[in-house]
Amino acid sequence: MIDPALALAALVFDRDGLVPAIAQQHETGEVLMLAWMNRAAIEETLRTGNVFYYSRARRTLWRKGEKSGQTQRLVEFLVDCDGDTILLRVDQHGVACHTGHRACFFRSLRADGLEEIAPVLVPPEELYRN
Amino acid sequence: MIDPALALAALVFDRDGLVPAIAQQHETGEVLMLAWMNRAAIEETLRTGNVFYYSRARRTLWRKGEKSGQTQRLVEFLVDCDGDTILLRVDQHGVACHTGHRACFFRSLRADGLEEIAPVLVPPEELYRN
């Protein structure tokens, strides 16, 4: 296990104690999502190898996939030049988005508006059936 | 040109009027950087095809590469599921990072700390010589 203090020392947290974290599928380069981490999320992620985030809406620590089963395993933890963004290279089990799309960035801006460019792979009612 | 109103209507701005934007090299998938956009940055990006951000440090609109020459051309503008993150697929001219690294995420967390995993391609003093 990597000592979380090594990451925490390099990071600049915002006024809410959070840092944005980009999750990228490690071998394909696909950008899956952006979420937020606090100190506890970073500690739990490094301790367990499962990615945790901080939910701003629910104001709670959140293990990715805890309800949907769509977990993320940490592959590599990167920090940007000024320490205010994290890039998580992960192995996403199933779909990253609560909509059932593989990634959250499934809407592309076109001349007539946002167009869905990726399919729903798992219906949301299957993701959150319990 | 795409009407910026189509993007603005789909986005949720934070209390500072900003949205985080991830820049990804379009054909390789490399995550180059994360920066912030306000309404004006989105409008100028869509109007010109050159990526603009909002500098939180300098509190000003900023055309990427305006000083360094390391510009970004917009290839695709994506919005995430809940409209609070932008993914810019871009063509990065030269290096994205002010340190002279290709991408800002050149530090990887290892057992003994952060390790630089990518080289400086352009010395910073060459980037900002004027």
Structure-block tokens of residue A106: 């499934």
Q: Is A20 helix (H, G, I), strand (E, B) or coil?
A: strand
pLDDT the model gives residue B43: 98
Q: Quick check: B79 and A116 in contact, CB under 8 A?
A: no
Q: How far is B130 from chain A (nearest CA, A)?
A: 22
Confidence of residue A4 (pLDDT cuts 50, 70, 90): very high
Q: Quick check: A7 and A79 in contact, CB under 8 A?
A: yes
pLDDT greater than 70 at residue A33:
yes
Is there a contact between B80 and A114 if contact means CB atoms under 8 Å apart? no
Q: Quick check: A75 and A97 in contact, CB under 8 A?
A: no
Is there a contact between A109 and B80 if contact means CB atoms under 8 Å apart? no
pLDDT the model gives residue B28: 97
Q: Name the residue in chain B with its Cα closest to that of A29.
A: B29
pTM, two decimals, is 0.97
Structure-block tokens of residue A27: 């071998």
Residue range A50-81, pLDDT digits in tens: 999 999 999 999 999 999 999 999 999 999 99
Q: Chain-wide mean pLDDT for chain A? A: 96
What is each CA distance from B18 to A72, A110, B47, B83, in whole angstroms?
28, 22, 19, 12
pLDDT the model gives residue B91: 98
Confidence of residue A30 (pLDDT cuts 50, 70, 90): very high
B106 interaction partners in chain A (CB closer than 8 Å): 78, 81
Is there a contact between B31 and A24 if contact means CB atoms under 8 Å apart? yes
The 10 Å CB-count burial string (b at 16+, else e) for A115-124 is: eeebeeebee
* DSSP state string for A73-118: EEEEEEE-TTSS-EEEEEEE-S-SSTTSBSSS--EEEETTEEEE-S
A22 interaction partners in chain B (CB closer than 8 Å): 22, 31, 34
Q: Quick check: A77 and A88 in contact, CB under 8 A?
A: yes
Q: Is A39 helix (H, G, I), strand (E, B) or coil?
A: helix
Q: Quick check: A19 and A11 in contact, CB under 8 A?
A: yes
Q: Quick check: B110 and B40 in contact, CB under 8 A?
A: no
pLDDT the model gives residue B130: 63
Q: Which of A22, A81, A105 sits opposite B78 (nearest CB)?
A: A105
Give the number of residues written for chain A: 130
pLDDT greater than 80 at residue A89:
yes
pLDDT the model gives residue A129: 82
Q: State whether ipTM is beyond 0.85.
A: yes
How far is Cα A86 from Cα A22, in angstroms, rounded to an integer?
Answer: 6
Residue ranges of chain B with per-residue pLDDT less than 50: none
Q: Which amino acid is at B42?
A: I
φ, ψ at B26 (rounded to 5°)? -65, -40
User: Tokens 């985080």 — which residue?
Assistant: B20
pLDDT the model gives residue B61: 98
Q: Quick check: B7 and B29 in contact, CB under 8 A?
A: no
Q: How far is B109 from chain A (nearest CA, A)?
A: 6
Give the number of residues written for chain B: 130
Q: How far is B28 from chain A (nearest CA, A)?
A: 8
- C-alpha radius of gyration, chain B, whole number: 15
* Residue A21 CB-density burial (10 A; 0-12 exposed, 13-18 middle, 19+ buried): buried
pLDDT the model gives residue A130: 63
